[in-house]
Amino acid sequence: MYKKFYIAKTLINILIVGLIDFYIFFDVLNYVIVLTCLIVVFQIIFKLIVKYKFEEQAFKTKNHAILNIAMVLSLWAGLYFFRPFIVLTWIIYVFIEGFAYKESQEYFE
């Protein structure tokens, strides 16, 4: 059950981050603000579900701080210098989620 939740959470996060990058790329700020609020709400909901429903199955994933910093820098560079960096941001985020899922495989078996 936790594996299905984890996969759903990952796919929702990838979709929302992809949408926010898409709307930033085309300068649609109203949608960016709404999606930023959605990210915060979904993260709170996911944390509460893990805390109360999957507490014994939850595990600590590595933070991947370097990849997260690269993602933020790519997003910033895309906003101010060169738009294709925003696409790079989403690709880096997909890799971050992929690495986290690969490391968590032992917990699902």
Q: What percent of the chain has pLDDT over 90?
A: 0
46-97 confidence digits (pLDDT tens): 888 888 887 776 665 555 666 667 777 777 777 777 778 778 888 888 888 8
Give 29's contacts (C-beta < 8 A, 6+ positions apart): 23
Sign of the CA dihedral running 39, 51, 69, 98: negative
Read off the tokens for 94: 């997909």
CB contact at 8 A, 93 and 64: no
pLDDT surpasses 80 at 15: yes
CA 60, chain centre distance (Å):
16
Q: Is the pTM of this model over 0.75?
A: no
Nearest to 4 by CA among 48, 53, 39: 53
